[in-house]
Chain A
Amino acid sequence: MLGSLLLAFIVAPLLGLVSAQPIGSLRRVAAMADVRDAIGLSLGCAFAAALLAGVFGTPLAYLLARARFPGRDFVAAIVDLPLAVPHTVAGIALLYVFGRRGFIGGPAGRWFGLRFWGTAAGIVAAMLFVAAPYAVNAARLGFEAIDPRLERVARTLGAGPWRVLWRITLPLARRSIATGLTLTFARAISEFAAVAMLAYYPMTAPVQIYEMFLRYGLSDAAAAAVLLLAVSLGLFVLFRRLAGAGDRIGPVR
C-alpha cells in the first residue's frame, strides 16, 4: 500500500509530462538536428562512462569484497563519496583537476592532445565521476554474495586464479555487474550539473533541454525531454532484460 503510493509518486510526474505532449511537437523536435545530436552524444558518452566504470570498477569491487587490507572501509567510503557531493561541487572539483591547467587536464593536453574542457572526453569524465559508485557497489554486492568456498573448490579442480575468475567468479557475479552498469549508464545520461560545468559544449541532451527551455520556452524543452525519456527508458528496459537473461543462457558446459 505504502509502496504503491511511492510508485504513483514516481510515475505521475513522468506520465503528466508525456501525456501533455502533442504528437506533432514531438515529431518536430525529433527532426531537429541539434536535439538528435545531443541525445546521440548523451548515449555515446554514457555508454563510454559505463564501460570505463566496468573495466576499472569491477576489479576494485572484487578487492573490496574479498581482500582484507587496512583502510578497506576508507576506500569503500571514497567510492561512495560522489553520491554525497552536490553535483555543482563535483563540477567545480572536476574543473580544477581536468581543466586546462588542472593536474590531469594540463599534462593530458600537453602530452597526448587530450582536452577535457568543452569536449566529449570531459563529458565522459564528469559522468564517470558521478555514476561510477553504482557500478562498484553493485558489483561488490555481487562478489560478496559468492561463497568463497566455491572458488576454493575450483582451485583444487586444477584451475589457476585467472581461470577461477573467468569460469566461476565473473559468471556468478555477472548479473550484479550488469545491473550496476545499467544503473551507471542511466545515472550518466541523467547528469546535468557536473557535465554542464566541465563541458557545456558539445551539448548533451540534458544541457540541450535546458538550453531550449531558456531560449524557446517550456513546450519545446518538454517535447525534447519526452524524447530523451523515451530513448533512455527503452535502453534501460533492454539492458535489464539482457542482464536478467544472463542467468539462463550462462555457459552450460
Chain B
Amino acid sequence: MTLAAAVERASLQLGAFALRDLDLALTCGEILVLLGPNGAGKSVCLEMIAGFHRPQRGRILIAGKDATRLPPERRGIGLVVQDFGLFPHLTVAGNVAFSRPGGEIAALLRQVGIGHLADRRPASLSAGEKQRTALARALAIRPALFLFDEPFSVLDARSRAGLRDELKSFLRHAGIAAIFVTHDPEDAWVLADRVAVIRDGAIIQAGAADAVFRKPANRWIAEFVGVETIVPGRIAGRAGNACRIAIGTASLLSTNAVGGGDGTVLVCVRAEEVELRRAGDDRTGEGLPGRVIAIANLGAWGRVTVDCGFALTALLTHRNIRDLRLAPGSAIVASIDPEAVHLLPLA
C-alpha cells in the first residue's frame, strides 16, 4: 500500500477559526470522506491541502513529496468544487484544455464519454455532463490526488444519487486517491472507503465507513450520522459472550464492549437493524414486546416508531409494513442482532 497523500499534525489559524493537529493519510486509489457540519472546517482543510492556506505547523505530503510550501499550481491536485466550477466563458474543450493549451484533449473527452460535447458551453450542460467535464479537466494534469468540495450540494436528491454512483466508479477506474468533503452522511455512506468526522476544526473519529456509521465514538457523532435510537441503559449482567442491557423494564443483548464507567451506558441502534414481527410470531423469546406508536412515510421506506418500554425506531419497506398489517396500536415484537447494539459510556 503506497501512500498517495498525507496530512501530518497540521494546525492552521485563520482569524477566529482554527484547524487543530489534523492527521489524514490516503493510500493509492482510496476514497476518504471528510464528513462534518457546516463551519466544521472541512473546506478550509481541503483548501489547505490544495495550497491556498499554509499550515502554521505540520506537513502535507502529496505523492510522497513534501508539498507544504508548494503553491497550488505545483501540487498536482485535481480540484472539483460546488456545482463543478466550470469556466463559463470557455467551451467544454476549452475547459479541459485549460492546463495544456494545444494539448491532445480529444482522448480525454472520449475517456469520460463527452467527446460529442467539445464545443458546448457549460451553461448548456446537464449536471452529469458538468461532472464529467470537471473530471476530464482535472485528469488533464494527471493529478496524484483528487479533492471534492461538496460538488453535489446544489443538486436535487435524485441527480445526487446518480452522480455519486458515477463518480465512485470513475474513481475506482482511475485508481486515484480522493478526499471528498460533505455534510451529508449519505454521501459518505455511499462513496467512502474511510470516513473522518470533523467538528470545530478537529477530527473526532476516523475509520472504515462501516465502523463510523455502526460504531460512532460518541453521542454527537451518533446523532450526526443518523442513529435514530439513542437511549440510556445499564449493564445488568453477562450472557455468554454478550452482555445484557437493561433499559427501564426492557432488556436486550449486545456483543459490543464499553470501557470503564459504572455500568451505565448509552444504547445506540440504527433503525435499519431493527426487525419487527407480529406479537406471537416471536420464536426466540429474546424479542422486545411493544406497540406501534407511529408510522411515517419516507418515500421508499416507512419509519415505524414502537414503544418497547423505550422508544425504538425501525426502518421497514412498505411491503413489510403491509405484510405485518402494522398500524398505530399494533402489538409487535422487535428483535435486534446483538452485534448491532452499540454501546457508549454515559458521561
A residues neighboring B (CB under 8 Å): 147, 149-150, 152-160, 167-168, 171-172, 250-253
Rounded to whole angstroms, the CA-CA distance of A154 and B78 in the bound complex is: 10
Q: What's the least CB distance linking B336 to chain A, in Å?
A: 44
Q: For residue B47, which residues in chain A have a CB less than 8 angstroms away from its CB?
A: 152
Instruction: Report whether over half of chain A's contact residues are helix, strand or loop; otherwise say mixed.
Output: helix
- Of A153, A157, A167, which contacts B81 at CB under 8 A? A153
Asked if B310 is an interface residue, CB under 8 A from chain A, the answer is no
- Known contacts A158-B99, A159-B98, A253-B94; is-contact A153 B89 (Cβ 8 Å): no
Interface residues on B, range: 20 to 34
Q: For residue B87, which residues in chain A have a CB less than 8 angstroms away from its CB?
A: 150, 154, 168, 172
- Of B77, B89, B90, which contacts A156 at CB under 8 A? B77
Q: What's the least CB distance linking A72 to chain B, in Å?
A: 15
Rounded to whole angstroms, the CA-CA distance of A147 and B97 in the bound complex is: 20
Rounded to whole angstroms, the CA-CA distance of A156 and B147 in the bound complex is: 10
Rounded to whole angstroms, the CA-CA distance of A158 and B137 in the bound complex is: 11
Q: For residue B94, which residues in chain A have a CB less than 8 angstroms away from its CB?
A: 251-253
Asked if B226 is an interface residue, CB under 8 A from chain A, the answer is no
Q: For residue B330, which residues in chain A have a CB less than 8 angstroms away from its CB?
A: none
Query: Closest 9 interchain pairs by CB?
Result: A155-B72, A157-B99, A156-B79, A149-B81, A253-B94, A250-B89, A158-B99, A153-B85, A158-B73
Q: For residue B137, which residues in chain A have a CB less than 8 angstroms away from its CB?
A: 157
Instruction: Give 8 pairs: A residue, B residue, CB < 8 Å, sorted on A.
Output: A152-B52, A153-B79, A156-B51, A156-B73, A157-B140, A158-B141, A167-B98, A168-B87
- Of B74, B85, B91, B93, which contacts A150 at CB under 8 A? B85
Among the interface residues B72, B77, B101, which one has the most CB atoms of the partner chain A within 10 A? B72
B residues neighboring A (CB under 8 Å): 47, 50-52, 71-75, 77-82, 85, 87-91, 93-94, 97-99, 101, 137-138, 140-141, 147, 149
Rounded to whole angstroms, the CA-CA distance of A53 and B74 in the bound complex is: 35
Pair A171/B89 contact, Cβ less than 8 Å: yes
- Of B78, B85, B101, which contacts A149 at CB under 8 A? B85
Pair A253/B93 contact, Cβ less than 8 Å: yes
Pair B90/A252 contact, Cβ less than 8 Å: yes
Rounded to whole angstroms, the CA-CA distance of A159 and B73 in the bound complex is: 6
Pair B93/A160 contact, Cβ less than 8 Å: no
Pair B98/A152 contact, Cβ less than 8 Å: no
- Known contacts A156-B50, A157-B137, A253-B93; is-contact A172 B88 (Cβ 8 Å): yes
Q: What's the least CB distance linking A173 to chain B, in Å?
A: 10
Rounded to whole angstroms, the CA-CA distance of A252 and B122 in the bound complex is: 12
Pair A157/B98 contact, Cβ less than 8 Å: yes
Rounded to whole angstroms, the CA-CA distance of A100 and B52 in the bound complex is: 50
- Of B79, B90, B97, B99, which contacts A152 at CB under 8 A? B79
- Known contacts A157-B137, A159-B73, A253-B90; is-contact A152 B82 (Cβ 8 Å): no
Q: For residue A168, which residues in chain B have a CB less than 8 angstroms away from its CB?
A: 87
